[in-house]
Every structure is written in structure tokens, then in C-alpha cells.
Amino acid sequence: MNLLEELRSLDPRDPGRWPFAFRAGAVLAAFVVASVGLTYYFVWSEQRPELQQHQAEEQTLRQEFKTKHAKAVNLEVYKQQLKDIERSFGALLRQLPGKTEVPSLLIDISQTGLAAGLQEKLFQPEAEVKKDFYAEKPIKIRLSGSYHQFGEFVSGIAALPRIVTLDDISIKPDNKDAYDALSMELTAKTYRYLDEDEIAAGEAEKKKDAVVHRPPGG
């Protein structure tokens, strides 16, 4: 009788009558299956969350590496961009007058209106408003003239070598019997850069205000 016939002749309901070799093989197979099942349950199932955590950390580190690698590769490009920004900022800063230049700039603004043929009804500089590194000086202006003259005035302001903005523009008829007799009110704003002492004083004032307004126990 060959091995296949012997397997067919085995009674699965009475393994006690099986030959010793088959009983030993069945016990060994049952032991292997039980070992695999117990290993999966007690080892794999318990360590799987830790494995998943490590896998997530690996993905995070990979992404962080890619980001840092891209920055390192483009470092020279970033340096050049920074130089370009500093150059552009310096060019803009040079368009801001210093403290001693503001009076002459106010004269230039006034002269621009007169050169356009406008009648100056009001030219009232107001108090400066200090920002981080510059100060803003608003000027209330009221002029009388025609649309064409107003256009010349605006073009003249834009052509000034210093930065001047025009805000809150309002144009109304100055004489209801004359079609092109108009009155224009606006706020012109000039800007000047703060020197190092003014910036330092501003920072000190901010710190002082922070201390004064700090809540009790803070």
C-alpha cells in the first residue's frame, strides 16, 4: 500500500488507530498552526500600532528631508532673491525724504498745483504719523480749477522724485453757473524715513507701553 492509499484509509474520527508516523505528523502540524496563531495574536497584533507609528514617522522624516534638500539646492537662488529684495527696498527707501527735506517737498507739492494753473484755497500740513521705519505726513489741500488743470496737477505729483500719494479725493462744482469751475479737496501724504535714533526711541516707547498695559500678575 502506498502513502496515498494509507492516507485515504485513515479514519479522521479515530486518530488513535493511525500509524505512529501519521499521528506524529498530525501533532506536529497542529503545533505549527497553533504556534503561528499565537505568535500573530501576542506579538504581531500588539506591535502593529508601534510599527504603524514608526512608518508614519518615517514618512514625516522623508518629507522633511525632501523640503530641506530642496532648500539646500536652491540656497543660492534664495540668496540672490534676498539681494534683489534688499536692492529694491533700498531704491524705494531713497525715494523717501529725510527730515530736512520735507519742507522743500511741501513746497514742491504746492508749486505743482500753482504750475497747473490751480488756485490754492487750503494747504494745511498735519502732524506726522510714525510707522515702523518711516513717518507719514498728511496734508489737507483744497484747489479750484478745471478738470484739465486737475489732471496736470495729478501728473505733476506723480512725476515728483519723492513718493507722494493722493487720498480722499473729492471734486465738486465751485460755481454752478460755470461748467468747468470745480473745487477739489484731497489729502496728500508724504513719507520720510526715520533715522536710527527715532527708530530706537519708537522701540523704547513700545516697550514702555507694553509694561504699562501689562495685566496684573502677568
Beta bridge partners of 142: 122, 185
For the record, the C-alpha cell of 46 comes out as: 500588539
Q: Which amino acid is at 52?
A: Q
* pLDDT at residue 54 in the model: 74
Residue 157 pLDDT grade (very low, low, confident, very high; cuts 50, 70, 90): very high
**Whole-angstrom Cα distance, residue 150 to residue 112?**
10
Question: Which has more pLDDT, 93 or 57?
Answer: 57
Give which of 179, 169, 19, 4 is closest to 27, Cα–Cα: 19
Q: Which amino acid is at 63?
A: Q
Which 3-state string (H, E, C) describes the chain? Answer: CCHHHHHHHCCCCCHHHCCHHHHHHHHHHHHHHHHHHHHHHHHHHHHHHHHHHHHHHHHHHHHHHHHHHHHHHCHHHHHHHHHHHHHHHHHHHHCCCCHHHHHHHHHHHHHHHHHCCCEEEEEEECCCEECCCEEEEEEEEEEEECHHHHHHHHHHHHCCCCCEEEEEEEEEECCCCCCCCEEEEEEEEEEEECCHHHHHHHHHHHHHHHHHCCCCCC
Examine the pLDDT at 3 and tell me if it is beyond 60. Answer: no
pLDDT-above-70 percentage for the chain:
65
Question: Which has more pLDDT, 166 or 72?
Answer: 166
Examine the pLDDT at 39 and tell me if it is beyond 70. Answer: no
Examine the pLDDT at 13 and tell me if it is beyond 80. Answer: no
For the record, the C-alpha cell of 88 comes out as: 529694491
Question: Which has more pLDDT, 90 or 192?
Answer: 192
Residue 18 pLDDT grade (very low, low, confident, very high; cuts 50, 70, 90): low
**Whole-angstrom Cα distance, residue 75 to residue 67?**
12
Which pTM value belongs to this model? 0.52
Pairing of strands 164-173, 129-130: unpaired
User: Rounded to 5 degrees, what are φ and ψ at 209?
Assistant: -65, -35
Mean pLDDT of 107-128: 93
Examine the pLDDT at 87 and tell me if it is beyond 80. Answer: no
